Chain A
Amino acid sequence: MRTTVASRSSSSAFMRFCRDYGWAYLFILAPVLLFLVFTLYPVISALIMSFQHYNPMNTTWIGLNNYKTLFQDDVFWKSMRNTVIFTIGTVPVNIVITFVLSYFIFQMKNSWQTLFKATLYLPTVASGVTLSIVWIAIYDPTSTGLINRFLGLFGIDPVIWLGQSSTALFSLMLMNWLGSHGAGIILYLAAMGGIPKSLYEAADIDHASGWTKFARITWPLLKPTTLYLLVTGVITSFQVFISVYLMTHGGPNFATTTIAYLIYDTAFKFYDFGLASAQSFVLAIMIIIVSVIQFKFLSSDVEY
């Protein structure tokens, strides 16, 4: 008797739980399943693989050997160096360019704002493959290439932009600077529009200079946007792949081999899945550390 009551009440509690929350769990079921199969399982599997010599027939456990191998590998360090140079050389520069362009657009009348926003946004919708193909043509080492032709007007000899190690990485960075700032501009403009006019009016009453207004009002209030662009920019830049793969193949002499490209090479050219997994974990840890540092340093005074 007692047990039936207990089981009935527990089953009705379960029913009530289902009735109250069942729908909600059903609504999030698809993404949770996808997360378990296509994210969680692969992450765990990659971690295990990074301690193995992977072979579909005969996988052997080799402990930290993959990590030892990669830390002794000159190409790995070179790819780290290239990735860091590329990131430091592009992300802050791009944020400054985006900010200046947004600030200028913000001074314009509405119809001009739309024109500039649309024009500067356009390359964002072109694919990485398309842009890489076009830039291969622009960097063409003969006098057919657009840049060499432009330099030729000033009597400068053609440069082998992508084909020599001294200019290859710079060429990829230049392409990145001149690429699209569209998404960032739209975020900055929305944030600039959200700054209350009364703040500037109050500053005018105090005879604040233009610089003071910028440093005390505009910049601090745009900090969340800057932080967002910085974090997403660094994460994207650490994983730069398409332009490297299509334009330089990581060369010449590994001058443009980034970590993402190295991982691809290790995994799908040499089929060393274990070593590639170890490399990918080093990349993941770098991304997580850098993201956390950025949040710590920049978000401390974001709340106001």
Chain B
Amino acid sequence: MHSKSKIIMVTVASVILGLWAIVTIIPLYWMIIGSVQDTTLSATYKPQMIPSIWSVAPFERFFSKTSAWRWLFNSVFISAVLTATNVFFGSLAGYAFAKLKFPGSKTVFWVLLSTMMIPAQVTLIPLYVLIINVFNLGDTYTAIILPGAVSVGNIFLMKQYMSSLPTSLIHAARIDACSEFGIFWKVILPLAKPGLAVLAIFTFVTSWNDFFWPFLITSSDEMRTIQVGLASFVFAESTDYGAIMAGATVGALPMMILFFSLQRYFLQGITIGAVKG
């Protein structure tokens, strides 16, 4: 009786999960499949679930009509720099808050953490004025990168993670007369590698997908990231369905490939330091 109801439960669960998984995947499938069918060839041709005509022409048109290669380079460069700064400064500060005792440590940490409740819209306008008018940095890499160089969320994540590392090793290193930075660099960082990997991956994906700030602060075509460029392309080119889908695919595919190759980190990583319980 008991095992029978268990079997029914698992069957129902599988069916619902299967259907939901299909619904979740359909938009991405529709995008990729739409990018390999050339709708401009015939006025009556509609994109199909299983295409009858395969073509790479939409991709060729997307790359020839836009500066997409440049946008991709910008996205890779900006995401890489943001990843490096966030991993370094985030783990450094996270380590200090987790393992070093200093006056004001708790206060500073909570002040930083409470800023996560402030919506981006509040700081946006003064930030815009500051970057454009005061620092004269409009339309530069620095402007896109600097405000996000180390995010509070990442410091929080690293503090949680560092707290779980053994303190005894730090004491041992201190007795061996390591400098404090030496301890961090030679003892802590190697121990924290799994946490740093997760932090790096999530920062890279977040930076790659970020839209609003780069959109606001860039004005020239060659400074756009792929996301900002894509949005401008859709506004300019509302009729070329295939090219639009090709663009959307170009914007998303690198992260999907990253996801499939580093799945383990994505699926376990998010739980480090998130919530206890």
- A residues with a Cβ closer than 8 A to B are 20-21, 23-25, 27-28, 30-32, 34-35, 37-39, 41-43, 45-46, 49, 56, 100-101, 103-105, 107-108, 112, 114, 116-123, 125-131, 133-138, 143-144, 146, 178-181, 183, 186-187, 190-191, 194, 221-225, 228, 235, 238-239, 241-242, 246, 259-260, 263-264, 267-268, 273, 276-277, 279-281, 283-284, 287-288, 291, 302
Let me know if B78 is at the binding interface, CB within 8 A. no
Instruction: Categorize the interface residue count of chain B.
Output: 35 or more
- Asked if A105 and B17 make an inter-chain contact with CB atoms under 8 angstroms apart, the answer reads yes
26 contacts across the A-B interface (CB closer than 8 A):
A24-B101, A31-B89, A31-B93, A35-B152, A38-B130, A39-B118, A42-B122, A42-B123, A42-B126, A45-B130, A46-B122, A105-B17, A108-B13, A112-B14, A119-B21, A122-B25, A122-B256, A128-B211, A130-B230, A180-B24, A183-B270, A190-B271, A191-B275, A224-B275, A280-B119, A280-B124
- Asked if A101 and B17 make an inter-chain contact with CB atoms under 8 angstroms apart, the answer reads yes
Tell me what chain A mostly uses at the interface: helix, strand, loop, or mixed: helix
Q: How far is the CA of A31 from the CA of B275 in the complex (A)?
A: 23
Q: How far is the CA of A184 from the CA of B14 in the complex (A)?
A: 19
- B residues with a Cβ closer than 8 A to A are 9-10, 13-14, 16-17, 20-21, 23-28, 30-31, 34, 46-47, 89-90, 92-93, 95-97, 100-103, 105, 108, 111-112, 115, 117-130, 133, 146-147, 149-150, 152, 155, 179-181, 184, 205, 208-209, 211-212, 216, 227, 230-231, 234, 241, 244-245, 247-249, 251-252, 255-256, 258-260, 263, 266-268, 270-271, 274-277
The minimal Cβ–Cβ distance linking B201 to chain A, given in whole angstroms, is 10
- Asked if B123 and A34 make an inter-chain contact with CB atoms under 8 angstroms apart, the answer reads no
Q: How far is the CA of A179 from the CA of B27 in the complex (A)?
A: 9
**B216, closest chain A residue (CB):** A268
- Asked if A127 and B14 make an inter-chain contact with CB atoms under 8 angstroms apart, the answer reads no
A130 / chain B contacts, CB cutoff of 8 Å: 31, 227, 230, 248-249, 251-252
Q: How far is the CA of A287 from the CA of B245 in the complex (A)?
A: 36
Q: How far is the CA of A46 from the CA of B16 in the complex (A)?
A: 48
13 further contact pairs, Cβ within 8 A, besides A134-B27, A283-B121? A108-B14, A108-B17, A116-B17, A121-B266, A122-B28, A134-B245, A135-B27, A144-B46, A191-B275, A222-B277, A246-B231, A260-B119, A263-B124
- Asked if B27 and A228 make an inter-chain contact with CB atoms under 8 angstroms apart, the answer reads no
- Asked if A31 and B126 make an inter-chain contact with CB atoms under 8 angstroms apart, the answer reads no
